[in-house]
Amino acid sequence: MKAYKILITEKIEGKWIEKLKSMYSVTYKPELWQYPEKIKKEIVDYSAVIIRNQTKLTKDVINEAGKLKIIGRSGAGLDNVDVDAASDLGIVVINTPDQNSISVAEHTFGMMLSLARKMAPANQNVKDGKWERQKFIGTELYGKTLGVIGLGRIGFKTALRAHSFGMKILAHDKYLNSEATVITQSHAKLVELEELLKKSDFVSCHIPLTPDTKHFFDYERFCQMKSTAFFLNLSRGEVVNEKDLIRALKNGKIRGAGLDVRENEPPESTQLSDMENTILTPHIAAFTEEAQERVIKAVCKDIISVLEGKSAKNFVNFSKPNSSKIFKEEQ
* Residues catalogued as catalytic: 236, 265, 283
b/e code 77-100 from CB counts within 10 Å (16+ = b): bbebbbbebbbbbbbbbbbbbebb
Give the rounded distance of the alpha carbon of 188 from its chain centre: 22
Give the CA-trace dihedral at 298, 301, 302, 305, to 10 degrees: -160
What is the C-alpha separation between 218 and 216, in angstroms, rounded?
6
What is the C-alpha separation between 305 and 315, in angstroms, rounded?
11
What is the C-alpha separation between 30 and 286, in angstroms, rounded?
18
Q: What does residue 229 show for φ and ψ, rounded to 5 degrees?
A: -90, 155
Q: DSSP E strands: which ranges in the chain?
A: 5-8, 25-28, 48-51, 70-73, 92-94, 145-149, 168-172, 188-190, 202-205, 230-233, 256-259, 278-280
| CA distances to 30, 34, 220, 226, 233 from 266, in Å | 16, 12, 26, 30, 16
- The neighbour count for residue 26, using CB atoms within 10 Å, is 19
Q: What is the DSSP letter of 190?
A: E
SS3 172: strand
SS3 309: coil
Q: Are 93 and 87 in contact (CB under 8 A)?
A: yes
Task: Strand 92-94: give its sheet, edge to edge.
Answer: 25-28, 5-8, 48-51, 70-73, 92-94
